[in-house]
Amino acid sequence: MKPKSVKQPRDLGDLIRTLRHAKQLDQATAAGLAGVGTRFLGELENGKPTVQLGLVFQVLHRLGLEIWIAPRAWRPEDE
């Protein structure tokens, strides 16, 4: 999976859903692996802007993802 730009909650949710589908996990299984409820994971995947940040990081970590912060002008291909 190539690095993707995330500019709003919906972008992050779409990426998480895409990864979950790529790993052939249904939402209930992925939520269980991440230690969150299916409602939370559904809200996260749907881009709800008020989800708990700590749980977002927990989901990302347990699904093998991480967040990188970079200046707007930076692109992964610049490395």
CA 67, 72, 74, 76 dihedral sign is: positive
Question: How many domains are there within the chain?
Answer: 1
Distance from first CA to last CA of the chain, Å, rounded?
Answer: 16
Q: 9-50 pLDDT, tens per residue?
A: 999 999 999 999 999 999 999 999 999 999 999 999 999 999
CA 22, 53, 71, 46 dihedral sign is: positive
Residue 24: give the domain boundaries: 9-68
Residue 40 inside a domain? The answer is yes
Note whether 5 and 11 are within 8 A (CB): yes
3-state secondary structure of 11: helix
CATH code of 51's domain? 1.10.260.40
Write down the pLDDT at residue 8.
95
Residue 58 inside a domain? The answer is yes
pTM: 0.85
Residue 78 inside a domain? The answer is no
Where do we find the tokens 């299916």?
38
53 or 76, which is more confident? 53
